[in-house]
Amino acid sequence: MSRTLLVVLLLTSLLLASDKTREGQEIIEQARSKSDIRELPSFTMKANLKIENQGKLLLGQYALLWNGPNQWREEISFPGFDEIRIGASGTVALKRNLDFVPLRVYQLQRAIRYGQEGLTLRPDEQIKQVRTRKVNGIEARCAEIGSKVNVREICVDASTGAMVRDHPFVDKELAPLGTKFFPHLLSYVEEGKTVAEAEVTELTTIEPLPSSTFEVPAGAVSKPSCLNPITGRLIKRVNPSYPESERRTHVQGTVAIYAVIGLDGSLHDLRVVSGVSPGLNKASLDAVQQWHYEPYKCQDTPVEVESLIQVNYSLAQ
């Protein structure tokens, strides 16, 4: 092969990669511009909530009062669980009756954050490819984003440009709000079953709310925070052992662990919030407490974040 041909092939490859990166970036920006309602000046959002809790259905309420990224109030309540968050410039004040987030509430919170998560690339991530495919029955354009340890996708509806999420999320009844779109039915699905659901009952743009709406309640704790932290990646993972007693008796399932990822990337405040058996629960805690993350960051400043880690145990047939 001639040197000239090699140069041509190299330049062609670089141009194709550049086109792919540009198109992928356009998809990500489209998802943000069409779906992140937090870019609107002021709005209110209210929703009826449902979660499955040990075979029982619990009903709750949600409210988000928004005056912009430096002044907002979010409330969520269920029987036995109440949480208020007050956002200000660079901080969030939290008041909660529990010192952890239950599994189903965590899954519900993720469902409600439509158009908010994962739209900022980490330095180690790059766009691998762009493709068209069906996502929950919707024709979508998708940007595949990869790093050395993880691959994920961001997809938008080919007709509206609104974000389309795949499993475990199911979003329905998309409706416009100003220049944005937002689903009025948001669900989290596990093993084919809806385990958390939010039905939006009110979502309207409004005039700015009075400052008194955003007063920090007594007993709330304020910490540094931001709306779009750069996601920290797992850099040390220790796999749990499978206790012999559980293996012999064919005990399997998923252990869910609440944890706080600290400023240095280490985990603290660990606790099992959905267990399987004493043996599997302990094995999971013993392993996960050794995990280490690259810290989540606001700009270049590390911040603490709450997380929920699921450890799966499965025996071959």
Whole-number mean pLDDT of the chain?
91
Long-range CB contact pairs, 288-292, < 8 A, 24+:
288/238, 288/240, 288/257, 288/259, 290/236, 290/238, 291/234, 291/236, 291/237, 291/238, 291/267, 292/234, 292/235, 292/236, 292/265, 292/266, 292/267
User: CA 296 to CA 197: how far, in whole Å?
Assistant: 27
What's the domain range around 180?
36-114+168-224
* 196 shares a domain with 56: yes
Last-in-domain residue among 182, 201, 224? 224
How far the first Cα of the chain sits from its last, in Å, is 53
* 271 shares a domain with 190: no
Q: Which two tokens stand for residue 270?
A: 């660990």
CA-to-CA dists, residue 307 to 187, 201, 268, angstroms = 19, 28, 11
Per-residue model confidence as pLDDT tens digits over 243-286? 999 999 999 999 999 999 999 999 999 999 999 999 999 999 99
In a domain, 138, yes or no: no
In a domain, 81, yes or no: yes
Per-residue model confidence as pLDDT tens digits over 193-232? 999 999 999 999 999 999 999 999 999 999 998 888 888 8
Reply yes or no on whether the pLDDT at 12 is more than 60. no
How many CA within 13 A on the CB side of residue 25? 8
User: What's the domain count of the chain?
Assistant: 2
Q: Residue ranges of the alpha helices (H) in 145-253?
A: 244-248
Higher pLDDT, 227 or 163: 163
* 293 shares a domain with 183: no
* 67 shares a domain with 177: yes
Q: Which two tokens stand for residue 246?
A: 């559980």
In a domain, 103, yes or no: yes
Per-residue model confidence as pLDDT tens digits over 93-152? 999 999 999 999 999 999 999 998 888 888 888 999 999 999 989 999 999 998 887 889
Asked if residue 170 lies in contact with residue 136, where contact means CB atoms within 8 angstroms, the answer is yes
* 241 shares a domain with 217: no
In a domain, 96, yes or no: yes
Distance of CA 151 to the CA centre of its chain: 15
Reply yes or no on whether the pLDDT at 5 is more than 70. no
What's the pLDDT score for residue 229? Answer: 86
* 211 shares a domain with 70: yes
DSSP class of residue 266 equals B
**Residues 146-170, mean pLDDT to the nearest whole number:** 91
* 48 shares a domain with 182: yes
* 217 shares a domain with 76: yes
* 199 shares a domain with 68: yes
Amino acid present at 313: Y
CATH number at residue 102: 2.50.20
User: CA 37 to CA 44: how far, in whole Å?
Assistant: 11
pTM to 2 decimal places: 0.89
* 301 shares a domain with 178: no
* 277 shares a domain with 194: no
What's the pLDDT score for residue 231? Answer: 85
In a domain, 158, yes or no: no
* 249 shares a domain with 209: no
